[in-house]
Structure 1
């Protein structure tokens, strides 16, 4: 098992993920137990198939449909640690995800999930946002609240018990940035992730939203968690391209019963 810090060029920043390269899937109960034992936001399991790789992700609580930083971590392990060359194509629950090495970084080719309207702000969300929201929308797995400015994102104090009641949705807060085009933070307490340090998957919706708001398709993003992480993004038709780096922290051996 490898542990990788994703969306960073330095150890102890970005978002850590564990990666296991398998010949065959382990029982689901075993994969979940490993993820729970790791207690990281995500543990990725990958195995080779004739036309690429099958990829699955587990939080400490359950399997998820989509994860960006653990996809980056997996690509880094395959390319940097195991010497796999060329484009990597991962078969996942959200379709084919492609990763290409770009010098010292990796470009992730993800589907675009444009924002879906919610309508009036639900009272509980208004309470969580503290009256600082500008707009709200959703995709298939998260609710997105746009705050008035970057400072509001930085100073946001999450009401985790109420955010947990949004299950099965996570909560993304975002705002126009200063140094970067936009910033965000992400909370998924029901999945065992109080705050995710850097999240690739939410940018499949943030990028089309901010591209429309700012009138540009190439965007610089920063996730304003304690660890933090920078993402270079591009909206390309119905795909979102995200470029980021990764560094290996640890290689370990697991002893299964």
Structure 2
């Protein structure tokens, strides 16, 4: 029988049962890919992160219940939290080697600061297929890894009830929707939601990787590099965002809600 540690962490929140839950599994060595995918399917969270120590750094991978992905922000923050707050509490920073290059998590006051690569978007067409999938016509569409639909009112993003089958049929990894902070969300610069049904995640509660594109977009549109954001999913989450030298830094908190052993 194999036994590995399992931590469940709510990321981008200061309270349990909010933000985005991720499973984090430290490993002594890599297990077969099919085992990693089976563990992620068993956990049935938007992401399960696995890491293996490599000297003073860690190799890090992420799996949805259906596929391995090239970048996941909240599970990276959760992994950094497990290392910095549980496994090595005297440490102040950790570097990860990933499919998206070097990522880092460090202590920043009472927050954790997650550094990710910026993915500035290019213009995209506002198609009828996208409009039908979202149930509303965006004013603008842009694309990096994900297709992002831009609206002008935060309440439109909050109320949206997308057709997941139509979303899954679009030619994109996932679809993000965003709008400036207005109405009850007027205390932040922009809001967002994220849908990836084709990847096993109908709606992700708080999505770090989406902000690799949203932060460059809103920084250019608003003319400043420091921004505040809210993902207005049912669980919700808040992020402080900075764009600098081709990198996006996301500040947030994390909470440990479960600790145990996985046996198979």
The answer to whether structure 1 residue 90 and structure 2 residue 96 are counterparts is: yes
Shift of residue 50, structure 1, vs aligned partner: 2.4
Tell me what 1:209 maps to: 217
Tell me what 1:185 maps to: 193
Q: In structure 2, how many angstroms separate the alpha carbons of the residues matched to 1:226 and 1:73?
A: 20
Q: In structure 2, how many angstroms separate the alpha carbons of the residues matched to 1:91 and 1:77?
A: 16
Aligned match for 1:57, one of 57, 62, 67: 62
Cα distance change, pair 248–117 in 1 and its aligned pair in 2 (3 A)? same
Aligned match for 2:10, one of 5, 10, 20: 5
CA contact (8 A) 1:105 1:245 kept: yes
Q: In structure 2, how many angstroms separate the alpha carbons of the residues matched to 1:192 and 1:131?
A: 23
The answer to whether structure 1 residue 25 and structure 2 residue 25 are counterparts is: no
CA contact (8 A) 2:135 2:163 kept: no
Q: Any gaps of 5 or more consecutive residues in structure 1?
A: none
CA contact (8 A) 2:134 2:167 kept: no
Shift of residue 167, structure 1, vs aligned partner: 5.2
Q: In structure 2, how many angstroms separate the alpha carbons of the residues matched to 1:163 and 1:21?
A: 33
Equivalent residue pairs, number:
254
Q: In structure 2, how many angstroms separate the alpha carbons of the residues matched to 1:247 and 1:50?
A: 27
Tell me what 1:231 maps to: 239
TM-score, scaled relative to structure 2: 0.94
TM-score, scaled relative to structure 1: 0.96
Q: Any gaps of 5 or more consecutive residues in structure 2?
A: 1-5
Tell me what 1:146 maps to: 150
Cα distance change, pair 42–167 in 1 and its aligned pair in 2 (3 A)? farther
Deviates more, 1:10-19 or 1:130-139: 130-139
Q: In structure 1, how many angstroms separate the alpha carbons of the residues matched to 2:136 and 2:26?
A: 46
- Give runs of aligned pairs for residues 99-114 of structure 1, distance below 5 A: 99-114=105-120
Aligned match for 1:125, one of 130, 139, 149: 130
Shift of residue 83, structure 1, vs aligned partner: 1.7
CA contact (8 A) 2:215 2:242 kept: yes
